[in-house]
């Protein structure tokens, strides 16, 4: 499998420098990478409209008519999985990177060692995203990437997996706990939470970004907070 990486920068020399580091990183890690340079945000989005299968975006910010942050926001509308890294000479945009869940923000001139470290993180996240639950629901097999799962809860002898849709199966929560990875945390006897979807925790409730509010069992507040800190 070759990971697809887009380098979007209107300064050709900077883009080629980044591509050289990317090529060396891929060789050292013995992985396949297909890299492509785009001289503007508009050129990338034109391509993206036809082909959304990208793993990592390495983006400049100040680029002609459309900046990299605006481009990233458009990509994020329908792509939660792609890893976004900003490589720029403008530090004032750091806060905006959080709006598009950017993995990292590197200042030009980019350090070879720092970029390779960030690429390692991006690769780890993509590998995690490739892990899936396979469920039999409503007479068909459903493949749910871990990163889409918000939480699981139990009602009687059934577990509902809440992702982009809800899928209810007759299995135990313990079965799922063994299958899921460390981004998930068991909360009491009846719920498993994806730590990445937790927006706020009180003594009695867990708030998710979509407005969902889940009851927090007695005694679960401290262990959940420790899990969140350990996962950060």
Q: What is the pLDDT of residues 191-226, one digit of tens each?
A: 999 998 898 999 999 999 889 999 999 899 999 999
Residue 176's pLDDT is what?
95
**Domain boundaries along the sequence of the chain:** 2-130, 133-231
Q: Does domain 2-130 have CATH number 3.40.50.2300?
A: yes
- With b for 16 or more beta-carbon neighbours within 10 A and e for fewer, the 38-57 pattern comes to bbbbebbbeebeeeeebbbb
The pLDDT of residue 1: 57
Enclosing H/E stretch for 112 = helix 112-130
Nearest to 196 by CA among 174, 181, 178, 216: 181
Question: Which residue would you say has higher pLDDT here, 130 or 105?
Answer: 105
Residue 232 pLDDT class (50, 70, 90 cuts): low
Q: What pLDDT does 46 receive?
A: 96
pLDDT in tens, 124-182: 988 877 788 889 877 788 888 888 899 999 998 999 999 988 999 999 999 999 999 88
| pLDDT tens for each residue of 48-62 | 998 888 999 999 999
Length of the chain: 232
User: What CATH number does domain 133-231 carry, 3.40.50.10070, 2.40.50.1020, 2.40.50.140, 1.10.3720.10?
Assistant: 2.40.50.1020
pLDDT at 71 over 70: yes
> What's the chain's average pLDDT?
91
Eight-state DSSP code of residue 62: -
């Amino acid at each position: 499998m070759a990971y697809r990486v887009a380098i979007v920068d209107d300064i050709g020399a900077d883009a080629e420098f980044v591509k050289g580091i990317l090529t060396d990183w891929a060789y050292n890690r013995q992985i396949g990478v297909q890299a492509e340079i785009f001289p503007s945000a508009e050129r990338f989005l034109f391509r993206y409209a036809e082909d959304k299968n990208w793993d990592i975006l390495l983006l400049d910010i100040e680029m002609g008519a459309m900046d990299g942050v605006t481009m990233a926001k458009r990509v994020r509308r329908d792509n939660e999985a792609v890893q976004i890294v900003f490589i720029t000479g403008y530090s004032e945009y750091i806060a905006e990177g959080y709006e598009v869940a950017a993995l990292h923000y590197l200042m030009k001139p980019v350090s070879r060692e720092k970029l390779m470290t960030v690429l390692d993180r991006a690769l780890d996240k993509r590998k995690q995203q490739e892990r899936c639950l396979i469920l039999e629901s409503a007479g068909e097999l459903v493949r749910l990437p871990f990163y889409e799962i918000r939480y699981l809860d139990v009602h009687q002898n059934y577990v509902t997996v809440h992702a982009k849709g809800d899928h209810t199966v007759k299995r135990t929560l313990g079965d799922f706990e063994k299958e899921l990875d460390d981004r998930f945390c068991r909360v009491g006897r009846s719920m498993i939470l994806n730590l990445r979807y937790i927006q706020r925790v009180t003594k009695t409730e867990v708030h998710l970004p979509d407005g969902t509010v889940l009851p927090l069992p007695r005694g679960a507040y401290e262990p959940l907070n420790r899990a969140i800190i350990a996962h950060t």
